Chains A and B, each alone.
Chain A
Amino acid sequence: MTPTAGLDHLRRYAPIVDDMPAFLAAAGAPLPRVVWSNPLHGPLDRTDARIVELCPEARPVGWRPHTWRLPPETLPGRWPLHTIGGIYGQEEAALWAGDLVGARPGERVVDLCASPGGKTAQMAISMADRGTLMANDRMMGRIPALRRTLDRLGITCAVVTRLDGVHFPRPEGGADRVLVDAPCTCEGTTRKSAGGRRAAPGEGYRHSIAQVQRALLRSAVRIARPGATIVYATCTYAPEENEGALDALDPSEVAIEPLTPPPGLKTCPGVPEWGGVYFRPDVVHAARIWPHHNDTGGFFVARLRRL
């Protein structure tokens, strides 16, 4: 199989990607592994040094501290350091979304679609493991992976629930922060060696998942207190699932905030139009992460302010 085999469906993004050959080449290449050191496990510098000892080819991710890029063939999940919670492996493109939530100690934070728990764990660590982190996932089969992530990383501030995020109950006084890491067509995961999606998503599925995404976003707006932060993220390129979902929100209820990516992480603005449909103007404040810009997977993220 050629590196770009099965990726023809991504050519629909020619109008919004700057370099289609580079995009397709990157989307078909093996994905570097990325791990970050867990501060709840022990001193970060000690864990960082151990990562380099175990994998001398490890290189720091320039835009995020205590985060390491490993060759694609590395299997850090087999290291005892991983099993005992010293590190967590996460797709680099997804990391910024968890950071953007900006969760603080003592807050009430809701993660509507939490499993397998990477961004949930990022938020718990950002909270210094203090406060209430509602880690929810609707799918029973995904709960064990979520619990294992939280347990392995030593997190004690999380409450795991198995509810439909669309009908998630509003915490008393409202949530301080809400993450909607929405189910999507996963077009940005083509680089994963296992579990990556290469088959073209059907238009029917794309339409139905877009409806779920809009409902989850409306739910997030409902449970957030005035002034709260809402982060919306997907691992797909489709504007129907990204800017289109943001466009469905009432501008009198939420504003889309401008984002400043950390130095070293290249992002592109949200697209204002797709297929002849023009979105609300502030969707350009969202960020797109293309695989050929940072040698990562593909990702979309937006930070909203509840008005």
Chain B
Amino acid sequence: MPACADFEPLPDQGLVPRYCAERFGIDPAVFAGHVFWRRAGSRLIRIADRGCRPPPGVGVDSIGMQVMRRPPPRGKLTSVFLQRFAAGATRNVYRLGDAEALRFMARETVSITPVDDASGYAVVIGPDGVLGCGRVVGEQLHSEIPRAWLHDA
């Protein structure tokens, strides 16, 4: 996969799938047909369709979808990445009803009973699908939904 001026393929293409499998039980097969990229000179990771070729010699603002700002295990997966790829997650998953989902999307904290690893990042699923990334601290599920989304409407 040829690089462009601003992005290059991530040297270890298994890095994100391994983390997703270990932490969330996401089948690595969901990433088949995609390539992980990193912005040149930074730790930012993105994912794009394998057939997506950034043009060489052209300034590129972004390619595909942002995965995380820095690599695992410290990096946090973006909510848009989880919405697209985490529907089949089996570990550290929290399912919310309508009212709790609305609160979570409003960046409010929701009370939960911890499962699996008991703390850290989680996949949060609502009635309409994956809502995004949460963070479990004790019996609290903190919303990691971007503030900017509150202004989507």
Contacts and interface: CB of A to CB of B under 8 A. Distances in A.
Q: Do A and B bind each other?
A: yes
Interface of A: 40-42, 50, 75, 77-78, 80-86, 105-106, 108, 129-134, 143, 147-148, 150-152, 154-163, 169, 171-172
Interface in B66-114: 66, 78, 80, 83-84, 87, 101-102, 105
Nearest to B4: A159
Contacts of A133: 52
A163 B58 contact: yes
A86 B59 contact: no
A148 B83 CA distance: 14
Given A40-B84, A131-B49, A160-B62, A80 B102 contact: yes
A34 to B, nearest CB: 16
13 contacts: A82-B153, A84-B132, A85-B80, A129-B49, A131-B49, A143-B61, A147-B62, A148-B148, A154-B80, A156-B47, A156-B52, A157-B64, A169-B58
Given A154-B80, A154-B84, A159 B49 contact: no
Given A77-B153, A84-B83, A157 B57 contact: no
A133 B49 CA distance: 10
Contact of A151 (B34, B55, B80, B128): B80
A7 B60 CA distance: 41
Contacts, number: 108
Nearest to A155: B65
Contact of B128 (A81, A108, A158): A81
Contacts of B65: 150-151, 154-156
A293 B33 CA distance: 44
A129 B83 CA distance: 15
A105 B17 CA distance: 24
Nearest to A40: B84
B51 A132 contact: yes
Nearest to B82: A84
Contacts of B101: 80
Given A157-B64, A159-B64, 11 more contacts: A41-B83, A42-B129, A85-B84, A105-B51, A132-B52, A133-B52, A148-B148, A152-B152, A156-B49, A161-B61, A171-B55
Given A80-B102, A81-B128, A151-B80, A160 B60 contact: yes
A130 B48 contact: no
A202 B87 CA distance: 51
Contacts of B102: 80
Contact of A75 (B53, B78, B153): B153
B9 interface: no
B129 A156 contact: no
B58 A84 contact: no
Please give me the 10 A-B residue pairs with the lowest Cβ-Cβ distance, nearest first.
A77-B153, A154-B84, A157-B49, A78-B153, A151-B80, A160-B61, A156-B64, A81-B128, A160-B62, A156-B49
Interface string B111-153: 0000000000000001011111000000000000000110011
Nearest to A171: B55
Contact of A134 (B47, B55, B130, B132): B55
Nearest to A42: B129
Q: Which of B51, B52, B132, B152 has the most CB of A within 10 A?
A: B52
